Amino acid sequence: MSHVPRSSEISPSKRIAIIIVIVAANMLALAATDLYLPSVPYLPDVFGTSIEAVQFTLVTFSAGFGVSQILVGAAGDLWNRRWVLVGSLFVFVPASLWCAVSGTVESLALARFAQGFSASASAALTVPMIKPLFDEARAVHAISVIGGVDAIIPALAPILGAWIFSQFGWEANFWVIVIAGVPLLIAAVLVVPDDTPESHHTSIWPVLMGFFTLLKHKRFMGYAVSHGFSLGGLLAVVFSAPTLIVTHMGGGPTEYVYSQIMWVSVFLLAANTTGRLMRRVTADQLIWIGNYIQIGSAALMLAYALLFPVHWLGFALTGVPYCIGLGLRGGAGFSRAIDAVPAYGARASALIIFFSMGLTAVGTGAVAPFLEGGLWSAGAAMLVMSFGAFALLPLIKEKAGGQ
């Protein structure tokens, strides 16, 4: 008999333990890139290659992360989500080891694709596994807070990553992932409960076909693709920031860390206001408000890049409103997308992340050839993607169940 755990069926301490393990898996997946980012500007000299080739290792991780969402989402709506999560971690640890021992940038790019491909399950399954533990009103706030906890990694991991790189070399950052991944894998086996979704399917192929239903659901697509553009616009800039700061702003890993701390802090503050704000506005209104703020922030960054000599602090400050907008709309958009198609929990979550990481890969790849020209390319990408997010929002006005 299928079973999805509910808050009434488990103790508060067990619920907390489940959330900690799932969020920790998300944080480790984020750390796979954020530990590595401070070393990126220096790897062309290590490998004897171009910065564009090194940036491609960020693109391949995002691409692997996004592509695997389709399989993970289908598996999460068919099989026991506990073992989908455990299986992904079982691949993630060796893939991280492959990254650590890569001797060429081409090998590292392939290893990063495998690492991203296997890192994705926790992200796809977080909302479907945790959302049933809360009522609808608390779900948006819970997802925002969980996103905020995940957001700590972009602030703290680069600090650790910069120190590890300076002391032990770039490879050591991947060894840290391996060392942390082993106990997390064990904890997932011991702590996460069986979580088999209700499904009348016995094969993965009909479940995969369910993605076509989601792609035809206008309201879901409005939420999902808009969220993908919104997050992708930020990550394309974040992934380009270390090189931009070192090459054009006279800074280094320390200045990158400061900018990340600034951005993460305002994101957390905004995300943690969503519970109170939803007493006055709806989740859909939060999404619109957040998007307006993001468009203004992206336009400000591009204007700054084109009109003034760039400094890392000015760069960081122009990105602050964008992070506030994401904090306001991120949890609301994700939760409302799942609500629009309640029978497709893991697949819906996976498709949202597929769009987010796919658009991140496209944005990062588009910016990479122009990094030598300065900040303007990153600002332009952020502005284009924030307008892309805005263009999809009219679809969320469709009535529930409207196609």
Residue carrying the six token digits 């900040």: 375
Please give the pLDDT value at position 85. 83
SS (H, E, C) the chain: CCECCCHHHCCHHHHHHHHHHHHHHHHHHHHHHHCCHHHHHHHHHHHCCCHHHHHHHHHHHHHHHHHHHHHHHHHHCCCCHHHHHHHHHHHHHHHHHHHHHCCCHHHHHHHHHHHHHHHCHHHHHHHHHHHHHCCHHHHHHHHHHHHHHHHHHHHHHHHHHHHHHHHHCCHHHHHHHHHHHHHHHHHHHHHCCCCECCCCCCCHHHHHHHHHHHHCCHHHHHHHHHHHHHHHHHHHHHHHHHHHHHHHCCCCHHHHHHHHHHHHHHHHHHHCCHHHHCCCCCHHHHHHHHHHHHHHHHHHHHHHHHHCCCCHHHHHHHHHHHHHHHHHHHHHHHHHHHHHCHHHHHHHHHHHHHHHHHHHHHHHHHHHHHHHHCCHHHHHHHHHHHHHHHHHHHHHHCCCCCC
The answer to whether residue 119 is domain-embedded is yes
Per run of 10 residues, the mean pLDDT along the chain (length 403 residues) is 51 73 83 88 88 90 85 73 83 94 92 91 73 62 66 78 89 93 87 65 68 88 94 93 91 88 89 84 92 97 96 96 94 86 77 87 91 93 97 79 47
pLDDT in tens, 220-248: 999 999 999 999 999 999 999 999 999 99
Please give the pLDDT value at position 224. 93
Please give the pLDDT value at position 147. 65
Q: 397: how many CB neighbours lie within 10 A of its CB?
A: 11
The answer to whether residue 110 is domain-embedded is yes
> In whole angstroms, what is the distance from residue 381 CA to residue 27 CA?
26
Q: Which domain holds residue 196?
A: 7-397
Query: What's the whole-model pTM score?
Result: 0.78
Please give the pLDDT value at position 1. 40
> In whole angstroms, what is the distance from residue 332 CA to residue 188 CA?
28
The answer to whether residue 1 is domain-embedded is no
Dihedral angle sign, alpha carbons of residues 375, 381, 384, 386: negative
Please give the pLDDT value at position 2. 45
The answer to whether residue 343 is domain-embedded is yes
| Length reported for the chain | 403
The CA angle 243-291-133, to the nearest 5 degrees, is 95
> In whole angstroms, what is the distance from residue 19 CA to residue 187 CA?
12
Please give the pLDDT value at position 222. 94
Task: Provide the number of structural domains found in the chain.
Answer: 1
The answer to whether residue 258 is domain-embedded is yes
> In whole angstroms, what is the distance from residue 297 CA to residue 319 CA?
6
| Token pair recorded at residue 309 | 């000599």
The answer to whether residue 331 is domain-embedded is yes
Please give the pLDDT value at position 61. 92
Q: 136: how many CB neighbours lie within 10 A of its CB?
A: 10
Please give the pLDDT value at position 193. 67
Compute the chain's Rg from CA coordinates: 20
> In whole angstroms, what is the distance from residue 77 CA to residue 332 CA?
22
> What CATH number is given to the structural domain containing 154?
1.20.1250.20
Please give the pLDDT value at position 141. 64
The answer to whether residue 402 is domain-embedded is no
The answer to whether residue 135 is domain-embedded is yes
> In whole angstroms, what is the distance from residue 23 CA to residue 351 CA?
19
